[in-house]
Amino acid sequence: MGTVIFITGVDTGVGKTFVACGLASLLRDLGYRVGVMKPAEAGCAERDGELFPEDAVRLKEASGCQEPIENICPYRLSEPLAPSIAAERAGVKIDIDHLLAVYNEISAQHDMTLVEGAGGLMVPLLPSYTYADLAKVLKLPLIVVAANRLGAINHLVLTLEHASCKGLRVLGYVLNHIESPLSLAAETNREVLANLTAAPCLAELPFLENMEAKKELPPDWFKERLEFSFIESVLNRR
């Protein structure tokens, strides 16, 4: 069984897929076999008569993971809602045992598997079962991604507090500039957070112009900006 990291966020649209893909391509470039998983993806558009899980496909491409997309993303849902309610409205039953079986298969075959959540820790996969519960059952250490803007301090500290209440291990957090221009809050968040939490800031990522055109960032782009020693420490724990 390889190492697994759960990439969660303080919200939807904060850069979880961006960070997970960057980490996946970096690890792949370093010669690791990288597995990926997106247990449920909601808001999938239809393509050729099938629901297309954009995040899962991006994760697969960045990592080079050979698993079929049905395993990487077992639950593909059309409505842009929390997976529990998107599934309920589509008449789909999310089966945690099935997720665990697929997870075991993927993580067993890779040195490092990255699992991307949906939204944040308290988003429900089942009506009374959240991503935090899944991370707890699988004993997954977390990377928490936050959009670096006004509000990030509260969102991040609440997420870290909840992780701690659940007994989840947090490797650290990433501050991601998804907005331009840089706000005063974005310039000062890192310093404020350092006094509020013991969790390390693993990276502060700059805003990229024409982000869509830059999906294929060179692996070194992340290596230069990431506290890489934390990944080595997780990999060496195996």
Give residues in contact with Mg ion (CB under 5 A).
Answer: 16-17, 55
Furthest CA-CA distance within the chain: 51
| Residue 188, both tokens | 């000062």
Indicate the residue among 16 and 177 with the shorter CB distance to Mg ion.
16
Distance in Å, CB of 31 to ligand ADP, minimum? 25
Residue 48: CA atoms inside 13 Å, Cβ hemisphere, count? 2
Indicate the residue among 9 and 141 with the shorter CB distance to ligand ADP.
9
> What is the total count of residues that contact ligand ADP (CB under 6 A)?
15
Contacts of 74 (CB under 8 A, 6+ apart): 39, 40, 98, 99, 102
Distance in Å, CB of 143 to ligand ADP, minimum? 12
Distance in Å, CB of 176 to ligand ADP, minimum? 5
Among this protein's residues, is 38 annotated catalytic? yes
What is the residue type of 218? P
Residue 15 binding result from Mg ion, ligand ADP, none, given CB thresholds of 5 to 8 Å by partner type: ligand ADP
Indicate the residue among 42 and 197 with the shorter CB distance to Mg ion.
42
Contacts of 81 (CB under 8 A, 6+ apart): 42, 43, 89
Give the integer Cα–Cα distance in Å for 27 and 23.
6
Q: What are phi and psi of 12, to 5 degrees?
A: -85, 150
Rg of the chain on CA atoms, in Å: 17
- Of 38, 93, 214, 215, the catalytic one is 38
Distance in Å, CB of 90 to ligand ADP, minimum? 20
Give the integer Cα–Cα distance in Å for 104 and 99.
9
Range 9-28, binding ligand ADP (CB under 6 A)? 9, 12-18
- Using CB under 6 A, which of the segments 35-43, 125-133, 173-181, 225-233 binds ligand ADP? 173-181
Q: Which residues form the interface with ligand ADP (CB under 6 A)?
A: 9, 12-18, 176-178, 205, 207-208, 211
Q: Catalytic positions, please?
A: 38
